[in-house]
Amino acid sequence: MTAFSSLSLSLCNYSVSNAMTAIATASLLSLPISLCRSSKLSSKKGVRGSSGVFAVYGEEGGLVEKKSSWGPLFDVVDPRPIAPQCKGKFLDVNQALEVARFDIQYLDWASSQDVLAIMLLHEKVVEVLNPLAREYKSIGTMKKELAVLQEELAEAHKQVHISEARVVASLDKLAYMEALINDRLLQDRSTTESDEASAALSTSTQSLDMVKRKVPHKSLDVSGPVKVYHPNLKNFWYPVAFSVDLKDDTMVPIECFEEPWVIFRGKDGHPGCVQNTCAHRACPLHLGSVNEGRIQCPYHGWEYSTDGKCEKMPSTRLLDVRIKSLLCFEQEGMIWIWPGDDPPAATIPSLQPPSGFVIHAEIVMELPVEHGLLLDNLLDLAHAPFTHTSTFAKGWAVPSLVKFLTPASGLQGHWDPYPIDMEFRPPCMVISTIGISKPGKLEGQSTQQCSTHLHQLHVCLPSSRQKTRLLYRMSLDFAPVLKHIPFMQYLWRHFAEKVLNEDLRLVIGQQERMIDGANVWNWPVTYDKLGVRYRLWRDALERGAKQLPFTK
């Protein structure tokens, strides 16, 4: 059974006034209601500065002509005679929605016809096996008829599964449209606020308070001094150090959520995390040393185990003294802690690179910016051709349109037109895979088209409200010999610092403006999607939402 229509909706550049509705209704709405391939679309010559939806219809023959008692049960109106004739036309938003409505009606009708076909074929089988018919037909004839009917039934069942898949795919595409609408609302609200404020100020300069009351509150406002971190943000496993940096006789001091901690290995070699403050005179413990699996204060020699218990007090009587400690585990080359008050999650997430990748560099940096601003920067690739002109994006062309494409619900996706996959993984990790052909060069339109890849992990630990501890891991699925070149790690660090410095001067400037009251998310656009979703996720977490957005 062939299909009736194949609706292929493609986007061109849309006028500014219709941008929101065009993206919400036309982006990637390809309702799969055909078994045949969708017709290839080409840009219409001479069309610039506007866009619409391009629709193409195919034809098919009738499904089932035989009348049956089953017919009334599947009596769904055939929408084909009243379907809009849109072949070769550019459609506006309302017309596109009308076409989509008819396509969904067609899916309903076609599915009914598929099921009806199966019912009629079953009736034919009953007729062939009718005892009265056996008097007039030979066994060989009946076998042939049954074989033909068996093939037709198999094909009909296959068609029902295809119809099911087409309906599911259509619903997924509509859900994706809904997500696009939600993501665009922030921008349009900002636009509405700006227009309302301008109109009010032009009519009267003495009604400023009234204007402020009329303008609705922004949905995404990140301005003013950074607030104290919400306790809900602490209830996650946080990677705080690489295992290679924690030797048996070394300590790693860190800050996490405004509190000082120190990590060291106990007698059993397992890591521990204790408060970096001696209980005696508040001396920083990391200034001391590790003695037989205990951290020794340099002031009076008090020694603490990984659970925070003071096990040795030279020159005095031993008292029951403890300092605060955190749950601390080691997994896949990283040290993790749980700084929250809630019971810890049962499992620690994996941050290992995909199969086939080899880790080439693990770098730790302390950066003078709030971790949310750094995450905003890492989740934004559209700035690369303008910011990183002397490092990895040197020579990148500036495309006319940059988009970040995500599933209907999720914190991951891929960049268009760059061959880069990216994901925000709660609470503070950014994972990306970049397809490359040679250093600094992009290849293909997706990572699947690329033969070699760079995989990156960025962990942005919130040290304080204006400081971030960054853990960076770089992996490659090519050139394994680079890992064995002497001093190569210093070259990787130099390059990573150079790239980060290109960002830092901008993000530090943002932070200064934000503290003075500027909103760093004042005007979100299409390529800000992943950053916006991170902010919406974080806002919902801090509000205590039962179901966090964009998460499974």
- Rounded Cα gap, residues 519 and 215, in angstroms: 16
State pTM to two decimals: 0.63
Burial class (CB in 10 A: 0-12, 13-18, 19+), 476: buried
For 60-73, write each residue's pLDDT tens digit: 444 444 455 555 65
Asked if the model's pLDDT at residue 501 lies above 50, the reply is yes
Phi, psi of 87 (to 5 degrees): -60, 125
Measured at the CA of 329, the angle between CA 255 and CA 467, to 5 degrees, comes to 15
Compute the half-sphere exposure of residue 469: CA atoms within 13 Å on the CB side of its CA: 20
Q: Kind of pairing, strands 252-256 and 238-242?
A: unpaired
Confidence at residue 37, expressed as pLDDT on a 0 to 100 scale = 33
Which amino acid, residue 8? S
Confidence of residue 17 (pLDDT cuts 50, 70, 90): very low
Structure confidence by residue, pLDDT tens digits, 281-313? 999 999 999 999 999 999 999 999 999 999 999
Check whether 32 has a pLDDT greater than 50: no
Residue 354 clears pLDDT 90, i.e. is over it = yes
Lowest mean pLDDT among 79-93, 137-151, 202-216, 421-435: 202-216
Buried b (16+ CB within 10 A) or exposed e, 367-403: bebbbbbbbbbbbbbbebbebbeebbbeebeeeeebb
Question: What average pLDDT does the chain have?
Answer: 78
Four-point Cα dihedral 542, 545, 551, 552, nearest 10: 150
Tell me: the pLDDT tens digits for 451-497? 889 999 999 999 999 999 999 999 999 989 998 899 898 999 999 99
Q: What is the pLDDT of residues 423-441, one digit of tens each?
A: 999 999 999 998 886 555 6
pLDDT-based confidence at residue 136 (cuts at 50, 70, 90): low
Pick from 73-87, 231-245, 411-425: least confident = 73-87
With 60 as the cut, is the pLDDT of residue 57 above it?
A: no
pLDDT of residue 154: 80
Is the pLDDT at 148 greater than 70, yes or no?
Answer: yes
Q: Is the pLDDT of residue 237 over 70?
A: yes
pLDDT cut 90: percent of the chain above it: 45
Supply 310's token pair. 């003071």
8 A C-beta contact, residue 57 and residue 6: yes
Question: How many percent of the chain have pLDDT more than 70?
Answer: 70
Residue 532 has pLDDT above 90, yes or no: yes
pLDDT digits (tens, 9 = 90+) for 389-399: 888 777 778 88
Residue 54 has pLDDT above 50, yes or no: no
d(CA 87, CA 210): 51
The CA distance from 172 to 183, in Å, is 17
CB contact set of 468 (below 8 Å; sequence gap of 6+): 366, 367, 369, 370, 371, 374, 460, 461, 462
pLDDT band at 160 (very low <50, low <70, confident <90, very high): confident
224, two tokens: 């003013």
Q: Output the pLDDT for position 125.
A: 76
Question: Is the predicted pLDDT of residue 29 greater than 60, yes or no?
Answer: no
pLDDT value at residue 253: 98
Rounded Cα distance, 458 and 460, in Å: 6
Q: How many CB atoms lie within 10 A of CB 118?
A: 17
Identify the residue whose tokens are 């020794």: 296
The whole-angstrom separation of Cα 53 and Cα 22 is: 9
Which carries the bigger pLDDT value, residue 110 or residue 236?
Answer: 236
Taking the C-alpha atoms of residue 303 and residue 407, their distance in angstroms, rounded to an integer, is 52
DSSP state string for 6-51: ----------GGGHHHHHHHHTT------SSPPPP--PPTT--S--
In the chain, what's the furthest Cα-to-Cα distance?
114
Task: Tell me the pLDDT tens digit for each residue of 370-382.
Answer: 999 999 999 998 9
Model pLDDT, residue 158: 77
Residue 175: pLDDT above 80? no
Question: Average pLDDT of 168-186?
Answer: 57
Segment 44-67 mean pLDDT: 40
Backbone angles phi, psi at 529, to 5 degrees: -55, -50
